[in-house]
Chains A and B, each alone.
Chain A
Amino acid sequence: QSALTQARSVSGSPGQSVTISCTGSSTDVGAYNYVSWYQHHPGKAPKLMIYDVTQRPSGVPDRFSGSKSGKTASLTISGLQAEDEANYYCCSYAGSYTWVFGGGTKLTVL
């Protein structure tokens, strides 16, 4: 199973919006609406931000939103805040009880 493709880094200024993309294949992102996104501050436990492509767990600010088109899923963060600076990973169900993650995108808040 190949990893999902994410840009290594993205940046934005406070208050701006950024979008992180995650490209997979017809056997994972393109096949299922089971994409999730995780925020990871190094040294801490990853945190679920989006599940089932667009769903936000309770407690996650509505500044975070998810979408999908074909084989590409996206995480958009609007109204960037300093605490949003972290690594973000996408994940997709890949069939046969397996999951595949992206390589991660480092978000820098300028």
Chain B
Amino acid sequence: EVQLLESGGGLVQPGGSLRLSCAASGFTFNNYAMSWVRQAPGKGLEWVSAISGSGGTTYYADFVKGRFTISRDNSKSTLYLQMTSLRAEDTAVYSCARYPFKVVAKYYFDYWGQGSLVTVSS
């Protein structure tokens, strides 16, 4: 059974940093590209970033470019999102999601985690 479990969320001050993790199980992690998607309180879903199965290719939404870094450790079957220069508008539940193939392309997200709440507030 495919499982994605996020951790690392919490309360952080504006301008601060936080690293989210997504532990994957039930599939061969390095065979699949992964993504982060967030949902601000009372809002819809918002795609944040994506990474290929090898980790060699990454993509970002404009609103996080230069502030967030996606990475993965295939030996640990874990996806990461390093978030810096956090703003109040980054407050959201961050979920990891799997693409159905190894490369990032015009795909969908076939499995999701439940998410980890990040609150940016002073």
Chain A interface residues (CB < 8 Å from chain B): 1, 3, 6, 32, 34, 36, 38, 43-48, 51-52, 57, 89, 91, 93, 97-104
Which stretch (B7-15, B77-85, B105-113) binds chain A? B105-113
> A54 CB to closest chain B CB, in angstroms?
12
Which residues of A sit under 8 angstroms from B46, Cβ to Cβ?
3, 101
Q: Which residue of A lies closest to B50 (CB)?
A: A97
Q: Which residue of A lies closest to B115 (CB)?
A: A45
- Picked from A3, A32, A45, A97, the residue with its CB within 8 Å of the CB of B112 is A45
Interface flags for B46-67 (1: CB within 8 Å of A; 0: not) read 1100100000000101100000
Q: From known contacts A43-B114, A45-B114, infer whether A97 and B104 are also in contact, taking CB-CB under 8 Å.
A: yes
Which residues of B sit under 8 angstroms from A1, Cβ to Cβ?
61-62
> Is the CB of B43 closer than 8 A to any CB of chain A?
yes
Contact across chains for A101 and B44 when beta carbons are under 8 A apart? yes
- Picked from B108, B113, B114, the residue with its CB within 8 Å of the CB of A52 is B108
> Is the CB of B4 closer than 8 A to any CB of chain A?
yes
Known interface pairs A3-B46, A36-B109, A46-B112; 19 further A-B residue pairs with C-beta atoms within 8 A, sorted by A's residue number? A6-B44, A32-B106, A38-B112, A43-B114, A44-B114, A45-B95, A45-B113, A48-B109, A48-B110, A57-B110, A89-B45, A91-B45, A91-B47, A91-B109, A93-B106, A98-B59, A100-B47, A101-B37, A103-B43
Count CB-based A-B contacts (< 8 Å): 66
Expressed in whole angstroms, the Cα–Cα distance for A101 and B95 within the complex equals 14
Contact across chains for B106 and A98 when beta carbons are under 8 A apart? no
Contact across chains for B44 and A97 when beta carbons are under 8 A apart? no
> B22 CB to closest chain A CB, in angstroms?
12
Expressed in whole angstroms, the Cα–Cα distance for A102 and B35 within the complex equals 17
Expressed in whole angstroms, the Cα–Cα distance for A9 and B43 within the complex equals 13
Which residues of A sit under 8 angstroms from B108, Cβ to Cβ?
34, 36, 48, 51-52, 91
Which residues of B sit under 8 angstroms from A44, Cβ to Cβ?
114
> B74 CB to closest chain A CB, in angstroms?
20
Q: From known contacts A45-B114, A48-B108, A57-B110, infer whether A89 and B95 are also in contact, taking CB-CB under 8 Å.
A: no
**B window 93-122: CB within 8 A of A:** 95, 97, 104, 106-115
